[in-house]
A and B are shown apart, each in its own frame.
Chain A
Amino acid sequence: MATLSVCQPQLGGFSFENCKRNAVLEAEVTKLGCNIPSARKTGTTICGVVFKDGIVLGADTRATEGMIVADKNCSKIHYISPNIYCCGAGTAADTEMTTQIISSNLELHSLSTSRLPRVATANRMLKQMLFRYQGHIGAALVLGGVDCNGPHLYSIYPHGSTDKLPYVTMGSGSLAAMAVFEDRYKQDMEEEDAKRLVRDAIAAGIFNDLGSGSNIDLCVITKGRVDYLRPHDMANKKGVRLIRPVYAYKQGTTGVLTKSVIKLDLEVVEETVQTMDTS
């Protein structure tokens, strides 16, 4: 700050003081050939589907940082309220902070109205916040829940547009997952069918997209019940290393042809006792 004294009290919120300095630094560093550190993305497959009694949300569990896997088992299904959960793709920090802020706001709102919060309320809060920041907050979300009007599923894009659909996918593996949905989605499925469909969609994303991997998490929301299945399916298990390598062969591997026992006769020649000085 170039000012010698501060005339007005500081406000909270985003501060753009260092933006120019960062731009200059970035230019210098690229000239030297290095890279500035990149934000951790979730490079993900997330999806959701509406079935007869509620919603099934699914997500993979890999977080990437450029070309490296930063977290092999991160949790992408975030809690918003007891009846509403949200999967997040994009920049990991953005999705976490956004969902936490909206969760707090919904809690305050539901305390003030003394009613269970609605999914449409969460949707509107999220889209207004994301639009305010014009897409600079990289959070692509799949929001699903069951409220007094039934099950609802929304997809929310980083710039603030939303869609209300019976099945949605987001993230880098969204095309693979959407292919599975488009093939096998039916209206009013049973819970087991819906879980199997979501599991297959996320598995398609995991096996066909580099940005998704590890396990599959599911979250089944129905009226009055939430099943958070983490992990639902360990599609990529790391191999188990043997603690003690077994090189010994089993008894009977080599066949025995003949056996002869020779007894050795030993006779006692001399017996002496030596006392030990143990002081």
Chain B
Amino acid sequence: MNTRGLRSQLKDSVPVTGMGPQVGAYGVQDTLRSGFSSVKNELLPSHALELSEKNFQLNQDKINFSNLRNIQGLHAPLKLQMEYRAARQIQRLPFLQSSHLALDTLKGNDESISFEGILNDPAQSEMMGEPHVMVEYKLGMM
């Protein structure tokens, strides 16, 4: 096994930041939007898998892109990421359900099913996103 190659992939992986306080504007805890803070809640994740699941897709993408770069050269991941960026923009407003069909087809998710598609269906979620807040968050105005 090529340990040198593995090390180069490790430094690309998403750093584990922990739960961290939700900083709003001015670098302070944003109580209105993220509720009261508690050190215990932020130090440790509530489940061993919580952090790894949160960053799973990002880590997989990093691994795949760095492999692609090593095999085919820098142009391959660059072109793919450009296509991903273009496909990600094809969606409805943030508070509406969008199918992400183009993005799924590019990533190959249209030919696989996992717990993301079965459990915790976003269409059945009990919390409704407030439209104004969601659009402001997306545009970075919050």
In residues 13-36 of chain B, which contact A (Cβ within 8 Å)? 32-36
Interchain CB contact under 8 A, A16 and B111: no
Given A7-B142, A133-B49, A14 contacting B119 (CB threshold 8 A): yes
Chain A contact-residue range equals 20 to 34
Stretch of A37-45, A102-110, A163-171, A213-221 contacting B (4+ beta carbons < 8 Å): A102-110
Interchain CB contact under 8 A, A20 and B41: yes
Name the A residues within 8 Å of B112 (CB-CB): 105, 108-109
* Binary interface encoding of chain B residues 116-142 relative to chain A, with 1 for a CB under 8 A from any of its CBs, else 0: 111111100101111001100100001
Of the candidates A6, A23, A109, A112, which one forms a contact with B129 in the assembled complex, judged by CB atoms under 8 Å apart? A6
Q: Quick check: is B105 within 8 A (CB to CB) of the other chain?
A: no
Tell me the complex Cα distance, A101–B116, Å. 11
Main secondary structure of the interface of A (DSSP, over half): loop
Interchain CB contact under 8 A, A134 and B34: no
Q: Quick check: is A3 within 8 A (CB to CB) of the other chain?
A: yes
Interchain CB contact under 8 A, A11 and B113: no
Interchain CB contact under 8 A, B35 and A16: no
Query: What is the minimal beta-carbon distance from A171 to any residue of chain B, in angstroms?
Result: 24
Tell me the complex Cα distance, A14–B53, Å. 8
In residues 100-156 of chain A, which contact B (Cβ within 8 Å)? 101, 104-105, 108-109, 112, 129, 132-134, 136
Given A6-B128, A14-B115, A108-B111, A136 contacting B122 (CB threshold 8 A): no
Apart from A3-B33, A19-B50, A112-B111: 8 A-B pairs, beta carbons within 8 A = A2-B35, A4-B33, A5-B130, A8-B129, A9-B134, A15-B119, A15-B120, A16-B49
